[in-house]
Structure 1
Amino acid sequence: MASARTPHEMLARLVGFDTVVGRPNLSLIEAVADWFDGHGISCRILVGPEGDRANLFATIGDATRAGYILSGHVDVVPSEEPGWQADPFILRQTGDRLIGRGACDMKGFVAAVLAAAPDLAAMAPATPIHIALSYDEEAGCKGVPHMIARLPELCAAPLGCIVGEPTGLVPVLAHKGKAALRLRATGVAGHSSRPDLGRNAIHALLPALVAAEAQARDLQARGPQDDRFAPPWSSLQVGTVTGGQALNIIPDRAEAEIEARAIAGTDPGSLLAPVLAAADKSGVDTEWLSSYPPLALNAAHPLAALISEVSGHGATAAVSFGTEAGLYQQAGVPAIICGPGDIARAHRPEEYLTLPELGACHDMILALGRACTG
């Protein structure tokens, strides 16, 4: 990390760390901490309850004054898709494309921020700039709440947070929230010719699955709508169903995973209430997998104007994917989404960020530094 100077070099270093969601990330976090230490930038490693993963919080400027957070996650989704043309964890360049797992989502933003950090420190901004790196965002924003809970000991109440998910550097004011639930049914195995002697775990799931499908239809037909989103309604779907061993064996176990995505103003967990009720009535166990709230920043908020100015783009109303921004907002920190690249490239083989996109993000970070210095 110490030898990285440009955003391109920094991105190559970051991609080289295999920080797949749910796995240890301390090697990356410690390398970033060393980078900050080498430039005289104060930082804290905040180890999560898992013990092998950590968030990191750094401050450029006076932490006792209100400032802005630049927020990014350093975990990535797995890279098992067959479409990769080379090792996903070695950044390679083809034309102006920088290809590697996490290049777009969202180590590109993190690389631009880290590469800009020495210049930001040299500016000595009167309004501090904080850098917040989180883990396990791809598992439903599981890491960042531990860091947000410690913000009062890390800095003065922030003026705002910029979450650098890929938006083409267009500031985004709102996103949907999400809640995910696992259902688990236990039955009694036996020969399928004698269902009276067993208990079918898959059948036990059916009332909850039917309730999920009915709730999805009801949300589309009669639920509140917000035209900023696509689709404009809150949604719900059964994502996975597993169970059984063979056609002629009564299944003794079955599981399903269900997610709800909520428009702004709606609690995503509440959308799963009919599923929970049906599961309880059927004796099916339930487990919350993750939950994060929607984001909704008023277009007239000063943060929207600031990020529009430094990015060079007017704000757009909303996106349907979720981010950590809603959690910052829930904690009282105004938040906006603005980062390089296109979300359509995320979670796909040959994921990439272009050199111009990376450079433009670096320029945006420096422009924010200048705005905080004046």
Structure 2
Amino acid sequence: MTVIDILERLVAVPSVVGTPNHAIVDGIRAILAEAGARVHILPGPEGDRSNLFATIGPAMVPGYVLSGHMDVVPAGEAGWTGDPFRLRAEDDRLYGRGTSDMKGFIAAALAALPALTAAPLARPIHMAFTYDEEAGCQGAPHLLPHLPALCAPPLGVIVGEPSGLRAIRAHKGKAAARLTIQGRAGHSSRPDQGLNAIHAMSLALSGAVAEAERLTAGPLDAVFEPPCSTLQVGTIRGGQAVNVIPDSCTAELEARAIAGVDPAALLAPVRRAAERLSEQGFTVEWTGTSAYPALSLPAASPLALLLEELTGQTPLAAVSYGTEAGLYQTTGVDAIICGPGDIARAHRPDEYILTGELLACQSMIERLGARCRL
């Protein structure tokens, strides 16, 4: 099968984040098994989703991991000019949900299997494909504890998020939370008899706005845009009607942290301000919804130099979006981002990847395989 044939199969499976993923896991497993790879399916605690880990070559010799996520964001937004889950070609563009983010990388890795298995590898190449990355890297933490039993400590992990096939050495970390405040309903003419949850929420969120402003003063890291950690409120819901005292209000907020800063700690002042509302009779519920650490790989690291050799381009210092690469780094393994496509095409109608980008990524992986035969 060509890389386009494989991508067509992958796009046809609507592996939307937060839904069962057996169909795409089984499809990828079949391709890997046919090529002779050793495949492990690692179910997550949800019971209907699994990670997949495969090995070509000697597992207990240090090698390299190609990492990608199998889930995609929903495709219900307006603006699609065709079926999001049917690969559509127009000139050099291949349209479909997940083509850039990031089934294109998975397709390139699978298309490289004939070259990777053509001769014995002295060092292995592993493929680690996860679920629910789009929900804040939910699947990868259930894969990482299995690595010591599946392979020798890797020399490096290449996370194939869309980067124009230029390696990226760093990204920010993230923590997100949901804050719910319960008050007491009543008629708006008697605010003294109720507890207005929206008013209470405004007190908590004023702290979030102040903290976001404070972060602009530093600490700073010029490799990021913006160079500071950030905090924002993303959603807020509450109330039934203008003449009813709202008894419930929920907000979702996130912090993104430069390397060396704990993103969860950035949310702590907001949580403390919210929990003080319980002294006024409100019920406060704080739920962490996702978190992943920052990535920071030195420019002189062997993995960065390898990717410069494989791509012919000097790695970029950093991006502000996040990936699973930081999670790998917390296990003591070097990780870097490098994949086909463009992040600017992701999460929007008519997502696409270029045929040339797919073929270039496949060639890069094949060159990595050739190095592993030395």
RMSD of the alignment, in Å? Answer: 0.8
For 1:104 and 1:289, the matched residues in 2 are separated by: 25
Q: Which residue of 1 aligns with 2:63?
A: 67
Aligned AA (2:230): S
Please tell me the residue identity of whatever aligns with 1:267. D
Shift of 1:373: 0.8
Q: Retained in 2: the 8 A contact 1:267–1:293?
A: yes
Choose which of 176, 187, 194 in structure 2 pairs with 1:191.
187
Opposite residue 261 of structure 2, the aligned amino acid is: T
SS of corresponding position for 2:79: coil
Q: Deviations over 1:97-141 (max 9, x none)?
A: 000000000000000001112320223211100000000000000
Structure 2: how far apart are the matches of 1:52 and 1:186? 33
Equivalent residues in 2 for 1:239-318 (5 A)?
239-283=234-278, 284-318=284-318
For 1:124 and 1:202, how far apart are their aligned partners in 2?
A: 64
**Distance (Å, rounded) in 2 between the aligned partners of 1:121 and 1:194:** 75
8 A Cα contact 1:98 1:352, kept in partner: yes
How far apart are the structure 1 equivalents of 2:276 and 2:192?
Answer: 21
Q: 1:177: which partner in 2?
A: 173
TM-score after normalising by structure 2: 0.98
- In the comparison of the two structures, how many residue pairs are matched? 369
1: distance between equivalents of 2:119 and 2:135?
36
User: Identity rate of aligned residues, in percent?
Assistant: 59
Partner of 1:134: 130
d(CA) in 1 for partners of 2:288, 2:323: 18
* Whole-Å separation in 2 of the counterparts to 1:133 and 1:198: 50
Q: Note if 1:107 corresponds to 2:103.
A: yes
Which ranges of structure 1 fall in alignment gaps of 5 or more residues? none
Tell me which residue corresponds to 2:92: 96
CA distance in 1, matches of 2:189, 2:260: 51
Whether contact under 8 Å (1:123, 1:369) holds in the other structure is no
Query: Which residue of the partner structure matches residue 281 of structure 2?
Result: none
Q: Which residue of 2 aligns with 1:213?
A: 209
Partner of 2:229: 234
Aligned residue for 1:123, secondary structure, equals coil
CA deviations 1:329-373 (Å, max 9, x no partner) are 011110000001111001010000000001100000001001111
Q: Does 1:320 align with 2:320?
A: yes
Question: For residue 94 of structure 2, what is the amino acid of its counterpart?
Answer: L
Residue 282 of structure 1 deviates from its aligned partner by 1.1
CA contact (8 A) 1:123 1:370 kept: no
Q: What is the deviation of 1:207?
A: 2.1
Q: Which runs of 5+ in 2 are unaligned?
A: 279-283
**One-letter code of the match for 1:254?**
C
Aligned mates of 2:274, 2:119 — CA distance in 1: 57
Compute the TM-score of the two structures, normalised by the length of structure 1.
Answer: 0.98
